[in-house]
Chains A and B, each alone.
Chain A
């Protein structure tokens, strides 16, 4: 029997590597007598044949057994042939269960259903699980392994062992081993296992490292077959819990990083206008919103004229949004803000007024409802990293946020424009006297801050609703980040954004999203009162104290 199985396996490997369809399987004839046997001998005959079928381990039998399970397997009364029959009107359409060849129609009276009872049903699912473990399709094997893990059906054990022995794919083999461990630990076999075997089974489950494994181990720890099993399972539970907590913390950290980079994007433009220029721009959120609407327009253009290049629309939207938002920013600076330098509170009010007008303008043009902004294919989907699930969209936003930050840092530190900005901020009359056109630098700096807000809008259009109120949701958070990080310090903004993002995400599981946010706000209020100059002043003060 063992040898026969091994022979079958060897044969199977050959088949599995080929792409041959089931129907063309040359061994189909080998199965035929077994399939034929399903139709005779009543329940016990069917059960016996089923056992033999699953023992044969040929995945070609799977559709037959599935048909049996769903009640589609019939015996043709005329010749006793086992067929798959599906009702079509009054008659049945017959197909050959193995070759799938059409066998014509037959009236209802000409066929008889192979009936199944509960014992058979159990046997069917067990053998299905066992057989799919042999499927040439990796996905099917994988899900079969998971199914066995869940059902912990002791009958599948033997097939499972066989499948493990010949499985090439390490991940699927691991899944199968986990399934085996689950069966071993929960089944009767557990009492006969050696300590080392139990240990290796619990280790396998610990390595699986997810919630299902934890539930299973917990169960074993509670009602295991022997004290040793219980003890080892309990030990595994605590290891696994630690591991899960670790991954959960890491996942939270990722969410925090992700939220932090969104905050960073929203706040970084403000760090320029508020931090560098000292201008309180309450319309900053609207610059973000304009960037998002620019993305929408660019995408509409692509949808209309170049749908094949849709994936590139975001790349076009980036410069477009920078220019549009930056342009609006320059207009605002030249028309309103430049009259209000040195009067921060008045600037705050005037820009708030502008934000109301801009919102209403967008609402009048585009309507009050959300606009659909699509994600390019390279931004959708997710991948797994250890116990982490990371979506591409979020990953790109994190990368993008840091890229913008780095670019801004370079622009301010290494370019002539950046030098002029710093000169004007530090000593306006002197800069003026040295021939720097301060008015122009002001306008361009404000344009830069607004343009960056536009870039943020492109990114946020991917994760938030594009509506006239988009900016309102970010303005308070952005100010919190800049103030918390320390005004006039880009690094402070970076640290502030990431800190607040992480705090928020770490509070969420305990306090809920809203309460978490409230707590963060209270934290900032208290923090500002401890350190009115924000986080970055911490070092200087600490030295002093």
Chain B
């Protein structure tokens, strides 16, 4: 497949930490607007994969191209984020001393240079965009609450909201429903599905029912490389996947 038409293109990416191979010649391709679920046992390299895409970790070898042209392995985190790659961490990290509104305002797509932010004044468009996201994430009533005082689920949602505000072309979402109630999990699945199409999304998740609810193509990682790829039903039937991950 040619790299040009892809959104994200990983080829032969390897990372090792003190001899331990976290990623072993990993290859993965994402098309624009696609949504993908990544599953795999602990230590399969899911988080490391996110790290190399977002620039937190430099790969030892391999190519990572964004939109078929930009080499991500040479860029720093902030530059990668500004290309349009957003990331949500496993543990929700919102800015606790700030209000919900300020959290979204910080995330909102806008010039990121210090002098621009020093003189930044919120515009009408920006305000309505934040209002919109507050609606989507059901946080409208809590807009002036300190983010630190939100419940765990609300923080997860705020963080997803912040990702939306960033308006990235590609979202990397790490275990978005960890610690959520069933109802919240369902709502989150709906939310993610609704944003796919406009954005490409990679979801890393352990919760099988959640992955099923997403109903998207699944990639199974094991020991740093791709074990299987396809619909959830197809990979669930794969004997290798059963051995290494799902269990008998």
Contacts and interface: CB of A to CB of B under 8 A. Distances in A.
Interface of A: 540, 543-544
A426 to B, nearest CB: 16
B125 interface: no
Contacts of B17: 544
Contacts of A540: 18
Interface in B34-75: 58, 60
A544 B22 CA distance: 13
Contacts of B60: 544
A544 B18 CA distance: 8
6 contacts: A540-B18, A543-B18, A544-B16, A544-B17, A544-B58, A544-B60
Nearest to A543: B18
B16 to A, nearest CB: 8
A544 B59 CA distance: 9
Contacts of B16: 544
Interface in B56-110: 58, 60
A543 B60 CA distance: 10
A390 B93 CA distance: 60
Nearest to B16: A544
A170 B98 CA distance: 85
A365 to B, nearest CB: 46
A271 B240 CA distance: 48
Contacts of A544: 16-17, 58, 60
A204 B197 CA distance: 92
B199 to A, nearest CB: 33
Nearest to B58: A544
A540 B17 CA distance: 8
Contacts of A543: 18
A170 B160 CA distance: 88
Nearest to A540: B18
A540 B19 CA distance: 9
Interface string B3-22: 00000000000001110000
Nearest to B60: A544
A450 B18 CA distance: 33
A313 B104 CA distance: 69
Q: Which 5 A-B pairs have the closest CB atoms?
A: A540-B18, A544-B60, A543-B18, A544-B16, A544-B58
A128 B231 CA distance: 109
A543 B18 CA distance: 8
A486 to B, nearest CB: 15
B62 to A, nearest CB: 14
B52 to A, nearest CB: 13
Contacts of B58: 544
B51 to A, nearest CB: 13
Nearest to B57: A544
A29 to B, nearest CB: 89
B78 to A, nearest CB: 18
